[in-house]
Amino acid sequence: MEEKFAYVEGAEQPIAMHPKKFALWLFIVSVVMIFASLTSAYIVRQSEGNWLEFDLPVIFWYSSVVIVLSSVTLHYAYTAAKKDELSKIRLGMILTSILGVIFLVAQWYSWVALVDRDVFFVGNPAGSFLYVFTGLHAIHLISGVIFLIIVLISSFRYKVHSKNMNAMEMCVTYWHFLGGLWLYLFMFLLLNH
């Protein structure tokens, strides 16, 4: 008995993703789940009463502008990388790194402003949640700044260009995610504090 094999034209290839990008997306999903559970817990706990009412520090507005600007400068570096404009890549990465550090400093000063208003980590759960939200985001942002610096160093070693975009694409994805996460948290806190 003779078996017949037919060549199928246009057979679909499986969707391929670089393993590091896949790991990054898994990490992003896990961070989304953490913050979704925290914001849900915030709403549930707030509805139980005994909730301290206070104004959010004004510096949150400034840090939001800084994080948006950092996304703009990173996009500038990304488009420069696609065009092999090395000096623009470096400029964009340096500016984004500086803005990332400025954001972290602003987060520190937001904690100082909270302490000045007698809002502490211990005591009322309203303050505890705010410190947890901003602290967890700051930890992730520190990892983002480290990632930015790694890509910046790679650009000085001529390893970031149109034919080698993997690290840059991952950095852009992670940084934009962190910016979006901050804007979500800030809007959530504005609407629910």
CATH number at residue 117: 1.20.120.80
Query: Each residue of 53-109: pLDDT tens digit?
Result: 888 999 999 999 999 999 999 999 999 999 999 999 999 999 999 999 999 999 999
Q: What percent of the chain has pLDDT over 90?
A: 76
Q: Look at residue 155 and tell me whether its pLDDT is greater than 60.
A: yes
Would 33 be classed as within a structural domain? no
Would 185 be classed as within a structural domain? yes
Q: Look at residue 159 and tell me whether its pLDDT is greater than 70.
A: yes
Query: Each residue of 126-145: pLDDT tens digit?
Result: 999 999 999 999 999 999 99
Domain count of the chain? 1
Would you place residue 123 in the very low, low, confident or very high pLDDT band (cuts 50, 70, 90)?
A: confident
Predicted pLDDT at 54: 87
Query: Each residue of 28-60: pLDDT tens digit?
Result: 999 999 999 999 999 999 998 888 888 899 999
Would 79 be classed as within a structural domain? yes
Would 37 be classed as within a structural domain? no
Burial string for 69-108 (b: 16+ CB within 10 Å, else e) reads bbbebbebbbebbeeebeebbbbbbbbbbebbbbbbebbe
Predicted pLDDT at 192: 87
Would 39 be classed as within a structural domain? no
Q: How far apart are CA 114 and CA 120, in angstroms?
A: 7
> Concatenated DSSP letters for 20-89?
HHHHHHHHHHHHHHHHHHHHHHHHHHHHTS-----PPPTHHHHHHHHHHHHHHHHHHHHHHHHTT-HHHH
Q: How far apart are CA 113 and CA 106, in angstroms?
A: 10
Quick check: 157 and 112 in contact, CB under 8 A?
A: no
Q: Give residue 64's domain range.
A: 59-192
Model confidence, pTM: 0.88
Q: Look at residue 9 and tell me whether its pLDDT is greater than 80.
A: no
Residue type, 183: L
Quick check: 101 and 73 in contact, CB under 8 A?
A: no
User: What mean pLDDT, rounded, does the chain reach?
Assistant: 91
Predicted pLDDT at 1: 53
Q: How far apart are CA 114 and CA 118, in angstroms?
A: 6
Would 41 be classed as within a structural domain? no
Would 78 be classed as within a structural domain? yes
- Determine how many CB atoms are found less than 10 A away from the CB of residue 35: 18
Would you place residue 193 in the very low, low, confident or very high pLDDT band (cuts 50, 70, 90)?
A: confident
Would 40 be classed as within a structural domain? no
Q: Look at residue 158 and tell me whether its pLDDT is greater than 80.
A: yes
Residue type, 89: I
Q: Look at residue 12 and tell me whether its pLDDT is greater than 80.
A: no
